[in-house]
């Protein structure tokens, strides 16, 4: 009986794999089939036999047919996987919330596996009462907050400054995710320690082997920063800073210190490595912008895209994501003809400030080549620039903050690639 | 007076109810516990360019070279040139080159930042294992590899904040809201926006996309 079941399961897996491959080749079953569909005329195993019982997956996991929906990395980008990055599979996701296990990772010294019982947060420096908190202490603060925010690495799309490079929105745009954080406003914790009169910046530090540090202006800390212990309702994942992460809404991901253990309050910034040697934007004249914290408005079409080509002629639904570090998405425009003509896309789902926003655009595909772009306008009136317009101001050495308009070239066969157009 | 007396119990009750419902600052003050001076000392390892946090000590280029060859060169190369894909830590290339190499010599603005960084996270895989003297020596040697100091140089707590790096003046604060003002407020064209469109470049011409068969090597 036991071996029978596992035989059926592996046969199911095998058939599922073949089915997925055929669909990708574009010969999916069409309306008006001449022969009856065995998916209808034959009784599948899952309709005849009992499925697994409730105890089989105490922590649920996706269907085995979704095994391709994973974070991926680009091995040659970095010397070691501990100082590296992987990417959210945006083309395989919908809605606006990123599942916890698919949120991209960027570490400078690997994932710290922190025992929460031994984790402390120290607040000191220009405060009246330097204090030590456990995560349990933070959970006793009355002002607990739940907020949905996008988090984007400043280097997202950084490979694309000199031209189209990577074939897939997972790789060009996948250093972004969007979850609901639960935590306590940093303001409440700072107030509990009593801010000194000259306090104007703070240094946040992680407990990992990078002891990652960033300087954060006090005004931002008092405005909307959170000390978060949960994402999407459950404890932070280790790779997202378990048990405690700093949330810096709308600002570059590197500042969202993971495994947060220390906050020092000061009267000026620290000019540490990640805000001088890194995360500064080198301009064409050889000088560099620093403290470019805000993530400019950006959008990308996730479907179709190189990893999710078009497979059906006729009615299709284009889908994508838009966001802005300055507030809400006001509008998204889409073009299918390389920017000659644009139409408004439909925003769907919650349109929250500093959060990923989903957009859709239905279109009819007759098998002709398409040059697809999206362009977001945020509530401050910022219009997502073309890559050329960005380069005119910033040159090509900036690495960070590339929010230029992305182009996908859909070929006659549906195959889709990353291009740049005039 | 008598009115005050008769009001007092009512006020007390009211205050009591409020305190149950809305803990004031007085109550969040009780959360956590005071940080002891020894605890702050144990964790407070950061330096700032103005000299804040600079620990006592010193180290020479010569001492630094010996430590570097033993603990750092395997990744960063004997001359800081970077072994394989590991980071380059020496070089004075111009920053207006195509693909400029950003090093302590070419890009970093402050020596305190080098000290702070090496002390908190290097050597990679054995962080916070160096003494302050060793970090002074390594910082001195990094300066030497970048042709910034002679080989008899000694870096010390009383001189570190005064050592100027070549690119100290190379940074300016975020100015996007002025230099990129034109990205705001223009109603974009929606119809017949351009006559023709040409493809300028494609990822396929430079297809470095990873696939399951293994990524191409770019060294």
Domain boundaries, chain A: 72-289, 298-419
List the 139-168 stretch of B: residues with Cβ below 8 A of A: none
Distance from CA of B154 to the nearest CA of A (A): 23
In a domain, B40, yes or no: no
- pLDDT at A2 exceeding the cut of 50: no
- R_g of chain B, CA atoms, integer Å: 29
B99 confidence band (pLDDT: 50, 70, 90)? confident
In this structure, is residue B38 part of a structural domain? no
pLDDT tens digits, A214-244:
999 999 999 999 999 999 999 999 999 999 9
Instruction: Provide φ and ψ at A109, rounded to 5°.
Output: -150, 40
CA pair distance A243, A225, nearest whole angstrom: 17
Question: What are residue A373's DSSP bridge partners?
Answer: A335, A407
Cβ pair A397:B100 closer than 8 A = yes
Sequence-distant (≥ 6) Cβ neighbours of residue B168 within 8 angstroms: B109, B110
Tell me the ipTM for this assembly.
0.90
Q: Are A270 and A279 in contact (CB under 8 A)?
A: no
pLDDT(B219) > 50:
no
Contact A342 B193 (CB under 8 A): yes
Show residues of chain B in contact with A276, CB under 8 Å.
Answer: 107-110, 113, 171
Distance from CA of A273 to the nearest CA of B (A): 6
- Buried b / exposed e over B122-133, threshold 16 CB at 10 Å, is bbbeebeebebb
Q: How far apart are CA A122 and CA A179, in angstroms?
A: 26
CB pairs under 8 A between A and B: 261
Does a structural domain hold residue B199? no
* Residue B75 placed within a domain: yes
Integer Rg of chain A from CA: 24
Contact criterion met (CB < 8 Å) for B35 and A132: yes
Classify domain A72-289 at the CATH superfamily level. Answer: Oxidoreductase, molybdopterin-binding domain (3.90.420.10)
* Residue among A126, A265, A270, A283 with most chain B CBs within 10 A, to mutate: A270
Question: Is the predicted pLDDT of residue A317 greater than 60, yes or no?
Answer: yes
CA–CA gap between residue A246 and residue A227 (Å, rounded): 5
Question: Smallest CA–CA separation between B3 and chain A, in Å?
Answer: 36
Q: Does domain A298-419 have CATH number 2.60.40.650?
A: yes
Judge whether A137 is closer than 8 Å to chain B, CB to CB. yes
Q: How distant is the Cα of B5 from the closest Cα of chain A, in angstroms?
A: 33
Asked if A277's CB is within 8 angstroms of B102's CB, the reply is yes
- CA distance to partner chain B, nearest, from residue A215 (Å): 11
Looking up residue B146, the CATH number of its domain turns out to be: 1.10.760.10
Put simply, whether B186 touches A (Cβ < 8 Å) is yes
Given a cut of 50, whether residue A4 has pLDDT beyond it is: no
- Residue A121 or B17, more confident: A121
Question: Quick one: CA dihedral B52, B55, B58, B59, positive or negative?
Answer: negative
Q: Which residue from A minimizes the CA distance to B167?
A: A287
| Model pLDDT, residue A16 | 37
Interatomic CA distance for residues B127 and A108, integer angstroms: 12
Q: Is position B104 within any domain?
A: yes
Strand ranges, E, within A267-422 = 281-282, 288-290, 298-303, 314-323, 329-335, 343-344, 346-348, 357-365, 370-378, 407-410, 416-421
Q: Which pTM does this prediction carry? A: 0.91
Q: How confident is the model at residue A186 (pLDDT cuts 50, 70, 90)?
A: very high
Residue pair A89/A98 in contact by the 8 Å Cβ criterion? no
Taking 60 as the threshold, does the pLDDT of residue A60 lie above it? yes
pLDDT category of residue A8 using cuts at 50, 70 and 90: very low
**Is B45 near chain A, with CB under 8 Å?**
yes
- C-alpha A119, offset from chain centre: 27
Cβ within 8 Å, pair A213-B120:
yes
Nearest to A166 among B87, B192, B203 (CB): B203
Q: What is the mean pLDDT of chain A?
A: 93
Which residues in chain A touch residue B194, judged by CB atoms under 8 angstroms apart?
338-340, 422
- If one counts every other C-beta atom within 10 angstroms of the C-beta of residue B155, the result is 27
The verdict on residue B159 lying in a domain is yes
Distance from CA of A36 to the nearest CA of B (A): 36
pLDDT score, position A19: 36
- CA-to-CA distance for A137 and A119, rounded, in angstroms? 11
At residue A13 the predicted structure's pLDDT band, cuts being 50, 70 and 90, is very low
Please indicate, yes or no, if residue B195 is contained in any of the structural domains: no
Residue range of the domain that includes B114: 47-170
- The reply to whether B2 falls in a domain is no
Mean pLDDT, to the nearest integer, of A67-89? 91
Count of domains forming chain B:
1
Q: Residues 85..124 of B with a Cβ closer than 8 Å to A: which?
A: 85-87, 94-96, 98-100, 102, 104, 107-110, 112-113, 116-117, 120-121, 124
Q: According to the model, what pLDDT value does residue B97 have?
A: 81
Q: Which residues of A317-354 are buried (b: 16+ CB within 10 A; e: fewer)?
A: ebbbbbbbbbebbbbbbbbbbbbbbbeebebeeebbbb
Give the chain A residue whose CA is nearest to the CA of B108: A277
């Amino acid at each position: 009986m036991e071996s029978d079941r596992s035989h059926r399961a592996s046969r199911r897996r095998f058939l599922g794999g073949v089915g997925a491959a055929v669909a990708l080749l574009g010969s999916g079953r069409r309306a008006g089939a001449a022969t009856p569909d065995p998916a209808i005329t034959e009784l599948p195993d899952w309709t005849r036999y009992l499925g697994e019982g409730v105890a089989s997956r105490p922590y649920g996991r996706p269907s085995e047919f979704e095994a391709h929906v994973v974070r991926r990395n680009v091995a040659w980008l970095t010397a070691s996987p501990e100082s590296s990055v992987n990417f959210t599979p945006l083309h395989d996701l919908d809605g606006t919330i990123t599942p916890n296990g698919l949120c991209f990772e960027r570490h400078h010294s690997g994932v710290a596996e922190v025992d929460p019982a031994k984790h402390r947060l120290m607040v000191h420096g220009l405060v009246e009462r330097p204090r030590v908190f456990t995560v349990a202490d933070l959970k006793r603060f009355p002002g607990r907050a739940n907020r949905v925010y996008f988090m984007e690495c400043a280097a997202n799309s950084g490979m694309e400054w000199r031209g189209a490079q990577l074939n897939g929105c997972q790789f060009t745009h996948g250093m972004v995710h969007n979850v609901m954080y639960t935590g306590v406003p940093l303001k409440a914790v700072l107030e509990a320690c009593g801010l000194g009169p000259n306090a104007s910046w703070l240094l946040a530090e992680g407990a990992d082997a990078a002891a990652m540090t960033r300087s954060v202006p006090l005004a931002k800390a008092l405005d909307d920063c959170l000390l978060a212990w949960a994402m999407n309702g459950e404890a932070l994942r280790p790779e997202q800073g378990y048990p405690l992460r700093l949330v810096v809404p709308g600002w570059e991901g590197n500042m969202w210190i993971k495994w947060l253990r220390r906050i020092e309050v000061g009267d000026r910034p620290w000019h540490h490595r990640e805000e001088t040697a890194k995360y500064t934007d080198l301009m064409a004249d050889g000088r560099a912008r620093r403290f470019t914290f805000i993530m400019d408005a950006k959008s990308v079409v996730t479907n179709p895209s190189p990893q999710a080509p078009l497979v059906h002629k006729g009615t299709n639904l284009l889908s994508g994501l838009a966001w802005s570090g300055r507030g809400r998405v006001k509008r998204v425009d889409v073009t299918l003809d390389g920017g000659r003509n644009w139409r408004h896309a439909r925003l769907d789902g919650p349109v929250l400030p500093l959060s990923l926003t989903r957009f859709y655009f239905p279109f009819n595909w007759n098998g002709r080549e398409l040059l697809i772009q999206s362009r977001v306008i945020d509530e401050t009136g910022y219009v997502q620039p073309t890559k050329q317009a960005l380069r005119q101001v910033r040159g090509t050495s900036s690495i960070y903050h590339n929010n230029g308009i992305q182009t996908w070239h859909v070929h006659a066969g549906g195959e889709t690639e990353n291009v740049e157009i005039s | 007076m008598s009115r005050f007396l008769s009001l007092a119990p009512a006020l007390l009750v009211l205050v009591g109810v409020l305190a149950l419902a809305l803990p004031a600052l007085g109550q969040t003050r009780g959360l956590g516990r005071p940080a002891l001076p020894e605890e702050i000392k144990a964790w407070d390892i950061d330096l700032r360019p103005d000299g804040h946090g600079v620990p006592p000590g010193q180290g020479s280029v010569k001492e630094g070279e010996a430590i570097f060859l033993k603990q750092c060169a395997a990744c960063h190369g004997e001359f800081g040139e970077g072994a394989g894909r590991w980071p380059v830590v020496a070089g004075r290339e111009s920053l207006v080159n195509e693909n400029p190499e950003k090093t302590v010599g070419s890009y970093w603005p402050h020596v305190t930042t080098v000290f702070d960084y090496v002390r908190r996270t290097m050597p990679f895989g054995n962080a916070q294992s160096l003494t302050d003297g060793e970090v002074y020596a390594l910082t001195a040697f990094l300066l030497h590899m970048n042709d910034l100091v002679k080989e008899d140089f000694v870096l010390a707590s009383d001189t570190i904040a005064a050592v100027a790096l070549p690119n100290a003046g190379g940074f300016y604060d975020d100015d996007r809201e002025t230099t990129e003002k034109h990205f705001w407020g223009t109603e974009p064209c929606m119809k017949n926006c351009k006559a023709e469109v040409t493809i300028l470049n494609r990822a396929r011409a430079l297809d470095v996309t990873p696939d399951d068969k293994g990524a191409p090597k770019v060294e």
